[in-house]
Structure 1
Amino acid sequence: MMRNKDRYFVCVPMFVCLVLAIELVLGQDFKPTDKILLNCGGPAVSTDPDGREWTTDNGSKFGSKTGKSTTSQAATQDPAVPQVPFMTARIFQSPYTYSFPVASGWKFLRLYFYSASYSGLNISDARFGVTAQSYTVLRNFSVLETSLGLNYEYIVKEYSIHVDEGTLNVTFTPSTSASKAYAFVNGIEVVSMPDIYTSTDASPLTVGTNTVFTIDNTTALENVYRVNVGGNDISPSHDTGMFRSWTDDVRYIFGAAFGVTETADPEVKFEYPPGTPSYIAPKDVYLTARSMGPNANISLNFNLTWIFSVDSGFSYLVRLHFCEGTTTISKINQRVFDIYLGNQTAQDGADVIAWAENFNLPHSNGVPVHQDYVVYAPSGSPQQDLWLALHPDTASKSNYYDAILNGVEIFKISDSKGNLAGTNPPPLLVQDLIDVSLARKSSHGKSKSHTGIIAGGVGGGVVLLLLIGLFAFGTSRRRRNGKDSSTSEGPSGWLPLSLYDSKGKKELDAGYDGNVTDSKSSGMSMSIGGRSLASEDSDGLTPSAVFSQIMNPKGR
């Protein structure tokens, strides 16, 4: 009997040590000191579809003591829009300030909007600005125009702001340019966040100039994209304690060149490196990836490309997440590739294993790493396309001509005047041309349609047949890769506006050469759909030349 007890007392500490060891390897979620979720105009307590509890702002200590406001139910509800926090709103006819007492430090500020009629008001008259501390986060903002322009059913704006004095002030102000203008908000979320985006370790370089760009406590950020590449949507409750939403990457991939998705091998030990907090990104981001595929002859003849629409006139922090999760890639110079941002070289000879080896762990695969870059979107048209492209690095003569990516985060950086506000996106004028058979309805996402295929333009004979075959193949790939709508947790995709001309006709602009090359310019110089290119050799291309250059990129 005593022997059994002795065994029990020996086994328990061993088991506890084992659990602690697993937790140290896999990491723990971030524990926010401040977590405020206001369902504006809503009931005392309500729960959203993700299981998070919201409280009302009726009689709240956070509301203005002198400002005037009213509350209202939404006149309509789209089936894809969650009840909480979107079915009630607080409406402002004059400036109104919420004051949130919080601990000093970095905060996520998320604003929730649903385009509907409230209190009989015309939603087209809802036009307003929002400031947070000294930063202008929205100006002349129209929820209706933004919803239509992005094809989103509801809008969530996320900002990262440093609070010095213990109070976060958020002010809504109706636009003075319209006599009937009013402001409204459906939900407000304030959550503490760790200092994971500033230049604490090393300042990122500005792509194209190689100048250091410093992000510190005086900088505000707006998250515009957070993408789980090669994986599924990740809902806020499955994030690492910061309630971030991650979407799949299928909607952003250019053309039919999808590459292949990879899932980490179970034999590979997953371990966050020293100095990298485990909450930097969910483990699920690093366990799935997208690569170009094992066939070098194919990989060398295309770029794995994603397109992201951004506001012009701002700098953007682009964080790329990597992890070699297979037993095949475990040594330096096995998979080496180049990274392009905005038609410029951001990184030559990217080697994930080499980055991981800098941490001196017993293994270099299964180690998450991330790289930060800053790219400037020059002023011009209100919005433009930011291209992210990967291509095998042939100069390294690596074992595999391939590239890999696990995740992408893109943040707009406040300018010197503390401004983050862009313009409202133009409306989608070609919705009736979208093939509904390719659409994917989200159960509670932001967007209404899946990314359409980039179709061919003008041409005949062999060129036309080749184009039809190419995009027919792309169609089958999209249908095979699409997820069932009942399992989708985030927004379905939206069609980049630049894929269409003003008449609504799908066309592949002759200015695109199908390959991201280093233009050595200081801004983004590639676009499609009628937007100009800086590349001198792209003018006047025929459809056959476009097709040829897509399949046979130059400069490799």
Structure 2
Amino acid sequence: MKTKIHIFLSFLSLFLLSNPVHAATNEPIKAPTPLILTCGTSNGGKDADGRSWEPDGKYLVAGGDKSVMSTAGTQDPSLSSAVPYMTARIFQSETTYKFPLQNSTSRTLLRLHFYPSSYPNFNVSNSYFSVVAGDVTVLNNFSAFLAAEALSQAYFIKEYYLAPSKFASLNVTFKPSDNQSQSFAFVNGIEVISVPAIFNVDPVMVGTAGVGADLESASTVPIDTSSMETMFRLNVGGQYISSTNDSNGLMRTWYDDSVYIYGAASGITPQSEIPIGYKDLPSYIAPLDVYRSSRSMGVSADINKNSNITWIFEVDPNFIYLVRFHWCEFQMKKANQRVFDVFVNNKMASPGVDIYAWTNSIATPMKKDYAVLVSNKTGDTQLWVTLKPSDITKPQYLDTLLNGLEIFKLSDNAKSNLAGPNPNISDMMKKYQDAQLAPKSFESPNKSKTFSIVVTGAAGGVAAAFGVAAVIFLVASKKRKRVPGSDATTWLPISWTSNSSSTKSSTPGKSHGGGGTNISTDAACNCRYFNLTEIRNATKNFDESNVIGVGGFGKVYKGIIDGDTKVAIKRSNPSSEQGVNEFQTEIEMLSRLRHKHLVSLIGFCEDNGEMILVYDYMGKGTLREHLYKGNKITLSWKQRLEICIGAARGLHYLHTGAKYTIIHRDVKTTNILVDDKWVAKVSDFGLSKTGPNMNKGHVSTVVKGSFGYLDPEYFRRQQLTEKSDVYSFGVVLFEVLCARPALNSSLPKEQVSLADWAMRCARNKTLEEIIDPQLKGKISPECLKKFTNTAEKCLADHGTDRPTMGDVLWNLEFALQLQDSHESGHSTTNSINLDNVEEEIDHNSLLNMHRSTLSLGDEYEAKKSKDDDTAAEDIFSQFVNQNGR
């Protein structure tokens, strides 16, 4: 018996030794012990996640005795933690850290934390420096001050994977730039982590094998000696994964991918309902949460065959980028059910991808690496990733799949360089910073001023501490059609791209006085300048009888210009909390936007200390005027639906269809106007911001907006995203349905907030009790269910759980069709399951209608739409033919 046991144990040992990878990958990899340093303090401390940071002093070698320990003068509310950001080590001469390496044969993960705040006796705007890690230049003539402004972030992190070293230690040298006066270097936190073999296979070089070529024989890029910078790390179709939830203690952060998707067709995001296990994939590659979520197109062949899903990223040119795809098939159970092609920069990276066939099992994570050269020869600085269904093998479904995506910049081995130039900062930002120290007074009307539009588009606007990103237009992506396979080469969750200028600065323009504002030449050319005499004549010297509204900016007057043209004239109140920034933002925003469902700015006046805006006249006033008791006109349910759809189209265009991604930030019923033909238009862009175009998919900013409509997540975290507009629009939807204000202090405490009260009624299934009495019995059950479900989803606590504005638009259009079907006598109550009703009622027609809104907003199409707009009943049927994206 003992002999048999010995034979069995010997056989088992031999089996395990002959299968080392299998045995190893089923065991948890021991997490590396990180070296985590808070700089500029002798005490260390714990961050908000409970991680212990030790002081950096003992690792300083050359020049360390000349460094200065300093504490930031202010703590920005967006800081994730006081440790390590509130203290800094400042270097006025070349200084080196020496860090011991746990394993010199593996890669080293280096993170540098920067908080370019005010430090005693140091002007952070003078800080320019280089950083050399080992033999790799990771930063050169670097300005953390400019980087933070370009990121619209008070603080940021730079992350690098350094190639294995032959030495037992890593030297990291900070050197102030010689060509900048009073320059110095600084750093707030440093992390040094020895990482396992994350990059163990040379990636296939895209563009060298050719379409349809054998990828196994394609040339690859050797990466053993290449250091890398993390550019993007996305949990595709899933939520933000914090560093504390990353695998194996690597403390990586995974971001939402939705802000990088090109256009509104973002597909669906199925989540795994079956257990996911690593199997043969090492657990340190990515956390399981990445593989549990996904983004696909759905299973409708007619819809998908001419479409795709595309992500766009801004990158620095003249570097090779490693693009890592994370896949896990948890739906298909056999080969040739879901097959698709992968394109990187519109070149075929992998034809006929079949995840199940590759893994030969379900719920099995895998990763695949490709490399692409982004050259500056074409002047393009974008990296495109596209998935397109393939029908060559006649698969069961025409669909795509992606679970995670990472993009890394590879060092130039010849120069050992990862550094790029600093982002450009606009003249407006420089002037704004100067203006903060100047008296708040108006300038002479004839004093000329110059201004250049912002051109830093890769990763953000203005840091929260400066609070004026609302006037800055950032090029997030160039909305050009590209066909996968054609030659061609954002927003960074980890790093920004320095070569982010997509447009050149405008030529110096002239402002027409007053307000201390700086209006770009483009804006001045796109709208009309009025002198104060013209405005006085138009309003009969601001006669109170012409007042048609009062807002936070000031009074709104009805006026007549050019003899018979009706206009709305908004005059700033000097005592208003809103002022020069909102005035300037409104001009810069609306002068560049032309859309049927956005109010049109005709011109402005900045004469004799006045700040006045002139708009198209909206004959029916605000949406709110037609909802509450005492109004002369009671809107029917269909009218309300059409107005909501129009407003949703305008917001959808701001988020995804305009040249710049714009967050309105003050969506409410008084900012939705209606013209004489009941066409809804979104108005009041004074609080708008561009973004989210910085490292966490949001803009960190001082909270502004209207109580009752304010996104609670934005209020708590001071982090603004497009989903903040979605929340506000959800309040609008309930306001339309219930015909009561967003806030009503005269009601019982639990009913004061419409959003809270509506959600409570939804949970208690009593929503029908709070509907406007004038609508009861007039809304079809299917339409009501679709409408209320949409509004409820908009009011989700977390932005990631809310739909996009494109999804909201889809659902409202569908609700309108359900109402039309009911009123025409083709009720669907008894014949259709509402959960699947989209497939029953003209699914393709609705999808085409929804997709067509991508083109709305082009100046030519907007003009064409306006010219064709001849009848009120046609106002929501002006669409542009579009064949895919």
Whether the TM-score (by the shorter chain) exceeds 0.5 is yes
Unaligned residue ranges in structure 1 (runs of 5+): 1-22, 358-363, 436-444, 448-453, 495-539
Q: Which residue of 2 aligns with 1:421?
A: 419
Relative distance call for 1:184 and 1:350 in structure 2 (3 A) is same
- 2:203/2:220 contact within 8 Å kept: yes
Q: Which residue of 2 aligns with 1:344?
A: 347
Q: Which residue of 2 aligns with 1:503?
A: none
Residue 115 (structure 2) pairs with residue 77 (structure 1): no
Instruction: Give SS of 2:251's match.
Output: coil
Instruction: Give SS of 2:88's match.
Output: strand
Instruction: Give SS of 1:354's match.
Output: helix
Offset at residue 486 of structure 1 (A): 7.6
Identity value in percent: 39
Relative distance call for 1:43 and 1:298 in structure 2 (3 A) is farther
- 2:327/2:401 contact within 8 Å kept: yes
Greater displacement, 405-414 / 231-240: 231-240
- 2:299/2:399 contact within 8 Å kept: yes
Distance 1:36 1:68 in 2: 23
Offset at residue 490 of structure 1 (A): 13
Relative distance call for 1:207 and 1:278 in structure 2 (3 A) is same
- 2:236/2:402 contact within 8 Å kept: yes
Q: Which residue of 1 aligns with 2:884?
A: 553
Q: Which residue of 2 aligns with 1:530?
A: none
- 2:861/2:880 contact within 8 Å kept: no
1:271 to 270, 277, 286: 277
1:226 to 214, 227, 233: 233
- Which letter maps to 1:374? A
Relative distance call for 1:372 and 1:44 in structure 2 (3 A) is same
Offset at residue 187 of structure 1 (A): 0.3
Q: Which residue of 2 aligns with 1:96?
A: 95
Q: Which residue of 2 aligns with 1:118?
A: 119
Distance 1:25 1:484 in 2: 46
Offset at residue 121 of structure 1 (A): 1.4
Q: Which residue of 2 aligns with 1:188?
A: 190
Distance 1:24 1:490 in 2: 47
Distance 2:419 2:646 in 1: 40
- 2:78/2:717 contact within 8 Å kept: no
Offset at residue 277 of structure 1 (A): 0.8
Q: Which residue of 1 aligns with 2:128?
A: 127
Write out aligned runs for 1:59-458 (5 A).
60-64=58-62, 68-81=66-79, 82-103=81-102, 104=104, 105-161=106-162, 162-199=164-201, 203-210=202-209, 211-241=218-248, 242-266=250-274, 269-274=275-280, 276-326=281-331, 329-357=332-360, 364-379=361-376, 384-415=381-412, 416-427=414-425, 429=454, 431-432=469-470
Instruction: Give SS of 1:485's match.
Output: helix
- Number of paired residues? 454
Offset at residue 321 of structure 1 (A): 0.2
Distance 1:310 1:150 in 2: 14
Instruction: Give SS of 1:403's match.
Output: coil
- Which letter maps to 1:412? K
Instruction: Give SS of 2:182's match.
Output: coil
- 2:316/2:381 contact within 8 Å kept: yes
Residue 50 (structure 2) pairs with residue 51 (structure 1): yes
Q: Deviations over 1:421-464 (max 9, x none)?
A: 012223473732589xxxxxxxxx989xxxxxx99965889xx9
Instruction: Give SS of 1:397's match.
Output: coil
Q: Deviations over 1:255-308 (max 9, x none)?
A: 212211110013xx423243x212210000000011112333332343211111
Instruction: Give SS of 1:117's match.
Output: coil
Q: Which residue of 2 aligns with 1:8?
A: none
Distance 1:459 1:247 in 2: 31
More relative contact order, 1 or 2 (CA 8 Å, 6+ apart): 1
Offset at residue 64 of structure 1 (A): 3.7
Offset at residue 108 of structure 1 (A): 0.3
Relative distance call for 1:175 and 1:471 in structure 2 (3 A) is same
Offset at residue 88 of structure 1 (A): 0.5
Point out the structure with the larger helix share.
2
- 1:40/1:185 contact within 8 Å kept: yes
Q: Which residue of 2 aligns with 1:485?
A: 713
Write out aligned runs for 1:509-548 (5 A).
none
Offset at residue 75 of structure 1 (A): 1.5
Instruction: Give SS of 1:280's match.
Output: coil
- 2:341/2:348 contact within 8 Å kept: yes
Q: Deviations over 1:378-411 (max 9, x none)?
A: 0259982211111111222211111111001110
- 1:311/1:383 contact within 8 Å kept: no
Distance 1:382 1:76 in 2: 40
Offset at residue 417 of structure 1 (A): 1.2
Q: Which residue of 2 aligns with 1:531?
A: none
- 2:64/2:96 contact within 8 Å kept: no
- 1:312/1:381 contact within 8 Å kept: no
- Which letter maps to 1:179? S
Distance 1:188 1:116 in 2: 17
- 1:311/1:423 contact within 8 Å kept: no
Offset at residue 172 of structure 1 (A): 0.4
Q: Which residue of 2 aligns with 1:37?
A: 36
Q: Deviations over 1:510-553 (max 9, x none)?
A: xxxxxxxxxxxxxxxxxxxxxxxxxxxxxx996599x9999413
- 1:67/1:94 contact within 8 Å kept: no
Offset at residue 27 of structure 1 (A): 5.1
Relative distance call for 1:66 and 1:204 in structure 2 (3 A) is closer
Distance 2:320 2:52 in 1: 35
- Which letter maps to 2:237? G
Offset at residue 163 of structure 1 (A): 2.4
Distance 1:489 1:26 in 2: 39
Instruction: Give SS of 1:421's match.
Output: coil
Larger radius of gyration: 2
Could you state the TM-score of these two structures normalised by the residue count of structure 2? 0.47
- 1:110/1:189 contact within 8 Å kept: yes
- 1:67/1:97 contact within 8 Å kept: no
Relative distance call for 1:223 and 1:69 in structure 2 (3 A) is same
Instruction: Give SS of 2:107's match.
Output: strand
Distance 1:86 1:484 in 2: 26
Instruction: Give SS of 2:116's match.
Output: coil
Relative distance call for 1:550 and 1:42 in structure 2 (3 A) is farther
Instruction: Give SS of 2:358's match.
Output: helix
Distance 1:297 1:119 in 2: 64
Relative distance call for 1:94 and 1:418 in structure 2 (3 A) is same
Point out the structure with the larger strand share.
1
Distance 1:488 1:229 in 2: 25
Q: Deviations over 1:32-60 (max 9, x none)?
A: 444110100135231112221101123x1
Distance 2:174 2:379 in 1: 23
Distance 2:206 2:721 in 1: 27
